[in-house]
Structure 1
Amino acid sequence: MPAVTVENPLTLPRVAARTDALPRPVLTVTTAPQGYEGEGFPVRRAFAGIDYRHLDPFIMMDQMGEVEYAPGEPKGTPWHPHRGFETVTYIIDGTFVHQDSNGGGGTITNGDTQWMTAGSGLLHIEAPPEELVVSGGLFHGLQLWVNLPAADKMKAPRYQDIRGGQVQLLTTTDGGALLRVIAGELDGHDGPGITHTPITMIHATVRPGAEVTLPWRSDFNGLAYVLAGRGTAGPDRRPVHTGQTAVFGTGSSLTIRADETQDAHTPDLEVALLGGRPIREPMAHYGPFVMNTREELQQAFDDFQKGRLGTIPAVHGM
């Protein structure tokens, strides 16, 4: 882990917070419960237990794996509906194939991201390719749900397939971290993801003993989820480790630091950094639908049951 990397980060553009930036304190650190999703693949529920006022515009995030599948073990999700938000599936290692009821789909692997705006609704499936099911292998990724404002909830569905080679690669002043900007902006550098709701999504690899202090928009919230490794977050160096989320308070810079010693199988601190401008609208969320009112939520269920979100495409030979 991970697939997208560079030999010498010092060849990349460097970012640092301004000296007069206000450091964001860590309000709380939570630990993700572990469970299973879809047909039975392991996940960590990254945002479980966090007050939604600290998450908005994000809804939930699952760390999928990291798991080394034996032959015949890889699993995905069956056909399911979505309406009213965006799903962001970032594959760090491994391969996922996706398909929808509108004829869209594709394959994402090793650093790729599939950004699906469900909008007015569709049916969707995600599964490992047949060759991975046969051979087994490494699988690791994230799926993030991003809310849509009321004005955008019923827009037509849209896909963005973001290849690993398209992400903006940056580093810190001393080259101690590799920053992959998937969406949003960091210090004037833009990631390729196009978002309805202004957000920043970064995958940071921090070398042992290195510290990262980044400029962070003061109108955004701030979250750091540890994918692997151990370190600290914030100016007061709150300890964090694999499966934990640090929730930051207000300010204009964000700091994380990797411990001097990491586990043998996790040489660096791997962190997902997220920030977004809160929508501050009422939210009615149940299962695969995220709307503004209970009436809209009921309408989404009715539309799904009556086939208005699409039908599962026929598969040749079945």
Structure 2
Amino acid sequence: MEIKEVNSVLKAPAPHMVGDGFRVHNFFPGGYKIDMNPFFLMDYGSKIDFSARKEPRGVGVHPHRGFETVTIAYHGAVAHHDSSGNSGVIYPGDVQWMTAGSGVLHKEYHEENYSLNGGPFQMVQLWVNLPAKNKMSKPDYQAIKQADMATFILPDHGGKIEIIAGNYQGTKGNANTFTSIELYNARLNKNGKAFFNFPEHYNTGFMVIEGKIKINHNQIAEVNSFVHFKNEGEKIEVEALENSIVLILSGEPINEPIVQYGPFLMNTEAEIHQAIEDYNQGRFGYLEE
């Protein structure tokens, strides 16, 4: 089995604010023109300290259609609500997997107690594309608490792999997905090693959340960098040079046209026009600011 070699190690692009609560580095599609399909977008909120505040920071009501948002928390806490009646809080280690499908209105803010106290904040949000046949599926929501997450303990005190979606060495993740997606948090102790096998044609990338790692015995990747792999070979070895957390993404590409307009991700211009009309006509439901 051949090694899946590194294509590039990408530094975090300049950050921008989403609302007043989320400072993010957009690795793709804006920061770098890399193919990570079915992952359409990755906003990485590198660690930042927010001051205490009575009125929570965040982003107000906004629509989504045609894809899923996956929010992964490392520090801080986010409260969220949508027009389908779902709400909850994403605490450190937790994952929120929201299927926008045919359309929802959504808002997310710093959780009240976190806002009152302030402190470190670090998260990732992914947009996962949906196949054409599933784009108008019923909105859904999966709350995956860290305490309930499927976990594989690595040998030799190497650490552990938290399987959010997919299957790592026979341990299956909690999330239900429309296409083949592997999404893990590798929490590695210093000198710990982990081995991964992904099909050649899967688009694969590693986000270094904490620490410093060595890949395939030769490539170094430091905190806040994204490792993009070639679509050749299948095997990857990771060694932690210090205690590290690495978000592992790999997925089978959806070979369909993509048309994006703001928070809508569809297959044709006509579908985008329909999404705008449906939103303007109030067909995404109602959500109070």
Q: Deviations over 1:110-136 (max 9, x none)?
A: 211111000000100011122222221
Is contact 1:46-1:243 (8 Å) kept?
A: no
Of 179, 188, 196, 1:206 maps to 188
CA distance in 2, matches of 1:37, 1:237: 36
Of 4, 23, 43, 2:3 maps to 23
Is contact 2:25-2:44 (8 Å) kept?
A: yes
Of 78, 81, 98, 1:99 maps to 81
Is contact 2:217-2:237 (8 Å) kept?
A: no
Of 63, 69, 93, 1:81 maps to 63
Is contact 1:25-1:236 (8 Å) kept?
A: no
Offset at residue 236 of structure 1 (A)? 5.7
Q: Secondary structure at the match of 2:279?
A: helix
Is contact 1:30-1:49 (8 Å) kept?
A: no
* Percentage identity across paired residues of the two chains: 36
Q: Does structure 1 residue 189 correspond to structure 2 residue 164? A: no
Q: Deviations over 1:34-77 (max 9, x none)?
A: 2221224211223344445x301001111224222221185221
Offset at residue 104 of structure 1 (A)? 1.5
Q: How many residues align?
A: 285
Is contact 2:21-2:110 (8 Å) kept?
A: no
CA distance in 2, matches of 1:26, 1:98: 36
Q: 1:172-187 counterparts in 2 under 5 A?
A: 172-187=154-169
Q: Deviations over 1:196-254 (max 9, x none)?
A: 12101111122223332222234422111111222233x36222112211111222222
Q: 1:1-318 counterparts in 2 under 5 A?
A: 21-33=1-13, 34-47=15-28, 48-52=30-34, 54-72=35-53, 75-233=57-215, 235=216, 237-249=218-230, 250-259=232-241, 262=242, 268-313=243-288
CA distance in 1, matches of 2:92, 2:10: 28
- Alignment gaps of 5+ in structure 2: none
**CA distance 1:218–1:175, change in 2 (3 Å):** farther
CA distance in 2, matches of 1:139, 1:40: 10
**CA distance 1:147–1:231, change in 2 (3 Å):** same
CA distance in 2, matches of 1:303, 1:217: 39
Is contact 2:67-2:130 (8 Å) kept?
A: yes
Offset at residue 162 of structure 1 (A)? 0.9
- Alignment gaps of 5+ in structure 1: 1-20, 263-267
TM value normalised by structure 1: 0.84
TM value normalised by structure 2: 0.92
Q: Secondary structure at the match of 1:46?
A: strand
Is contact 1:46-1:244 (8 Å) kept?
A: no
Task: Please report the RMSD computed on the Cα atoms of aligned residues, expressed in angstroms.
Answer: 1.9
For 2:2, give the aligned amino acid: L
